[in-house]
Amino acid sequence: MDVKSKALFYRTAQIICCLFWALFAQNAFSGPESRAVLHPQGLLWKIQKNNQPPSYLFGTIHISDSRVIQLLDVVQTALQETDVFAMEVILDQHAQIAISRASFFSDDELLEDYIDTLQLDRINQIMYQYYGINPEIVNRMKPWAVMATISSPPPESNKTVLDIQLQSLASEYDHPVFGLETVAEQVEALSGMTRAEQLWLLNKSVDDFEKNMGLLERMIESYLKRDLQGLIQEQAELMDDKSSIDDRFMEKLLDQRNLKMAERMIAIMKNKSVFVAIGALHLPGKKGVLHLLEKAGYQVEKIY
């Protein structure tokens, strides 16, 4: 798969992460005791247990901003020291086909069957102006796929996101590449929602689009400062405290994925040194991957 195709795929496959960020934000600030978040700062962590070879966990942000891409220089040494590379999902042609099939209606259904004309016009304008997707294609997309696209930062021309560049760098080092999840597992997190829930989230993403774009620069700045708690706080501004959808899906969309990724990391780290790259907001918190590894007996040390 060429770089352009990978970028198009990744924008769709990883858009689930945008919803996870919002859900995690509400969870992180849901009570007074949660203001102090475990592991609130740091992107690159050394992971080690007993005599096992050291591994590294790096929190990514799924955008192609040039300031973010410069972090490749920071993590390059750690990546070179490891035996294998692991990311949320392997980005290959099979994954591209799978996410495409999941994102589109397979029968005679159309998005216009579920969205009023005025809202559909707003969706089409956003999708074409910011993402280059024409109305004919949008009309065949499922509500969750449109919502997830609109919730993602618009792609930059001829640039690929940090995760893809890490995958390419790992390939240059001849590192085997592992996926901690399958495309099917990621897609099911959103496609498993009811149609009404998907439509609610889609309408909210359209209503919040300008606010989302306004927060993007602040999020990038917090990320570059390695301020995970700052990222959480900024995402909390987008939450609707009158909705119960995020609460109902919190465990499935975030907590269960963290458990799964930690378990699969541990299985690899028993025999190999691994460099793991996952979304930064999977790292902190009582149910974050870092603390799950600590509970499994691993020492975690902030490197950067």
Per DSSP, the residues of 65-110 read: -HHHHTTHHHHHHHHHHSSEEEESS--SHHHHHHHHHHHB-SSS--
Please report, as a single letter, which amino acid is at residue 274: V
The pLDDT of residue 252 is above 50: yes
- CA angle 42-47-52, nearest 5°? 170
If DSSP codes are grouped into helix, strand and coil, which group holds residue 71? coil
Range in 107-116, 158-167, 174-183 the model is least confident about: 158-167
Mean pLDDT calculated for residue range 242-258: 71
Between CA 97 and CA 108, with CA 102 as vertex, the angle to 5 degrees is: 115
Specify the number of domains making up the chain: 1
The per-residue pLDDT of the chain, averaged, comes to 85
**CA Rg, the chain, in Å?**
19
Q: Please state whether 248 falls in left (phi above 0), alpha (psi between -120 and 50) or beta.
A: alpha
Q: Which helix (H) or strand (E) holds 169?
A: helix 162-172
Min mean pLDDT across 38-42, 163-167, 245-249, 292-296 is at: 245-249
151 lies in which domain range? 3-302
Can you tell me the distance from the alpha carbon of 190 to that of 16, in angstroms, rounded to the nearest whole number? 7
Q: What is the pLDDT of residue 60?
A: 94
Are 278 and 261 in contact by the 8 Å Cβ rule? The answer is yes
pLDDT at 91 over 60: yes
* The predicted structure's pLDDT at residue 157: 66
Reported confidence tier of residue 232, pLDDT bands at 50, 70, 90: confident
- The CA distances from residue 249 to 22, 27, 194, 198, in Å, are 11, 11, 11, 12
Strand partners, 88: none
What local confidence, expressed as pLDDT, does residue 173 receive? 96
Pair 224, 194: CB distance under 8 Å? no
Tokens 């980005």 locate to 91
